[in-house]
Amino acid sequence: MMCLSEEQQILRTSIKDFVKRYVVPGLNEIKNDRFPRDILRELGKNGFFNVMIPGFGVQDSYSYSLIVEELASASPSLAWLYVTHVAAAYALSRMGSEDQKSQYIEKMADGRLLATIAITEPASGATASAVQTKAEFDGKAWVINGSKTFITMASDADAFIIMARSDSEKPAFTDFILRSDDRGVSRSASLKGSGMPGIGWGEIFLENVETGQDRVLGNRNEGIKIIPTIAKVFTIGAASISLGIMDVLNANALEHIRERKINGSSLSSFQVVQDRYLHMYTNGQAASALIYRAAINDDIKLAYAAKVFATEKAIENAVTASRLFGANGYERSVGIASYIDDALAVPLHFINNDVLTGLFMNSV
Ligand SMILES: Cc1cc2nc3c(=O)[nH]c(=O)nc-3n(C[C@H](O)[C@H](O)[C@H](O)COP(=O)(O)OP(=O)(O)OC[C@H]3O[C@@H](n4cnc5c(N)ncnc54)[C@H](O)[C@@H]3O)c2cc1C
């Protein structure tokens, strides 16, 4: 852990207390795929969304990473939702007009209004510039048609930031703020992931959705800029989810290899077990050093590197922990093997690791 300021120490204590008070009692429900709206609201009431919203709290990526890590070590799904909502609030606060900010940001900061960013489509996948949803301006209003898939909070978000193709001649995109109760917007939370339960994963359908210019986020035909705008929040957030997963796995694995005895010898006396744990420990330490440095220095190239490193290493640690726990860890109520499925989701989203390499090369 790098040096924490007095405020950051207080924040870390308060997020730990928050986890004990609000998250732990709700863990089983999240694991059973219930969307934790009540916990997200409490996160808002307690000021934890403010940390990355300009004008509300200190703009501090390190504090943000500490919150995400702490949430993820209790519930990777809750941390995933936290990052999703904070990224939407960050995009609105950076790209929104004064009217849009006054309409949305305060409600998002205190968790009354939940929002998500919906870019992915069945045919576009990891490539944002392949989005097919169309937005046509008829001189008075925009008419939007298309669909989004694999969307976090599809089930429960009150607002969606969507990206649509807005020029029939050239590949140009515009971002819009849509409301779940806008005419023509419908959704289905039908998707079930192998991991990350309770994130309200699903699809959004847009059928002749008519909106005014006041719903355009940022400049017309410059919608693709949302990706670099949210890159810091996405990458530090995703890396910190993976770090939280490593924290809990490493702590559990160490306890297990010390306590489990075979013929009177603890597992930790076997050299192969020592070697496996050494690698888990090193992965966790190296990931935290990268993430904290990226966050403290607001260094985007380090943030990209941290995202790729931490998300890949968390998968490695989840597989190794599963080995060290043996059948005990595979048993569902112990749940060690389920971290593999949670860890597998993180490289796929918050800028897919394989797409992120291009952004990384532009930043070095
Ligand atoms: C749990 C979860 C939650 C999600 N939540 C959201 C959300 O809230 N909002 C949202 O918009 N999306 C969300 N996504 C979608 C996520 O961003 C996409 O899964 C991701 O962009 C990859 O798209 P795809 O899965 O269709 O993979 P595909 O596009 O089919 O790609 C498959 C693989 O091919 C490679 N690949 C594809 N294209 C390229 C390329 N251009 N360059 C290099 N390699 C490439 C990559 O290895 C990629 O993983 C979520 C996904 C998951 C798993």
Which residues' Cβ are closer than 6 Å to ligand 1? Answer: 84, 116-120, 125-127, 150-152, 193, 196, 201, 345, 348-349, 352, 354-355
Q: Would you state the structure tokens that stand for residue 310, as one six-digit string?
A: 């931490």
Per-residue pLDDT at 1? 67
pLDDT digits (tens, 9 = 90+) for 20-53: 999 999 999 999 999 999 999 999 999 999 988 8
Atom of ligand 1 minimally distant from the CA of 127: 41
Nearest-angstrom CA–CA distance, 190 and 150: 10
What is residue 23's three-state secondary structure?
Answer: helix
Class level of CATH domain 115-223: mainly beta
Q: Ligand 1 atom 41: the closest Cα is on which residue?
A: 127
The complex scores an ipTM of 0.97
- Residue for token digits 């997020």? 15
Per-residue pLDDT at 58? 66
* Domains 115-223 and 226-363 agree in fold: no
Cβ atoms of 178 and 146 within 8 Å: the answer is: no
**In this structure, what DSSP letter does residue 141 have?**
-
Cβ atoms of 142 and 212 within 8 Å: the answer is: yes
Enumerate residue ranges in the chain where pLDDT < 50. none
Q: Ligand 1 atom 37: the closest Cα is on which residue?
A: 126
pLDDT digits (tens, 9 = 90+) for 134-183: 999 998 999 999 999 999 999 999 999 999 999 988 899 999 999 999 99
**Third-level CATH fold of 226-363:** Butyryl-CoA Dehydrogenase, subunit A; domain 3 (1.20.140)
Q: Ligand 1 atom 20: the closest Cα is on which residue?
A: 126
Taking the alpha carbons at both ends of the chain, their separation in whole angstroms is: 26
- Sorted by where each begins, the domain ranges of the chain are 6-109, 115-223, 226-363
Class level of CATH domain 6-109: mainly alpha
Per-residue pLDDT at 114? 98
List all residues 6 or more positions away from 46 whose beta carbon is below 8 Å from its beta carbon: 14, 18
In Å, what is the CA distance from 226 to each residue of 76, 109, 178, 179? 25, 20, 15, 18
Beta-bridge partner residues of 203: 188
**In this structure, what DSSP letter does residue 24 have?**
G
Work out the widest C-alpha separation in the chain, in whole angstroms. 80
Per-residue pLDDT at 331? 83
List all residues 6 or more positions away from 6 whose beta carbon is below 8 Å from its beta carbon: none
Atom of ligand 1 minimally distant from the CA of 345: 53
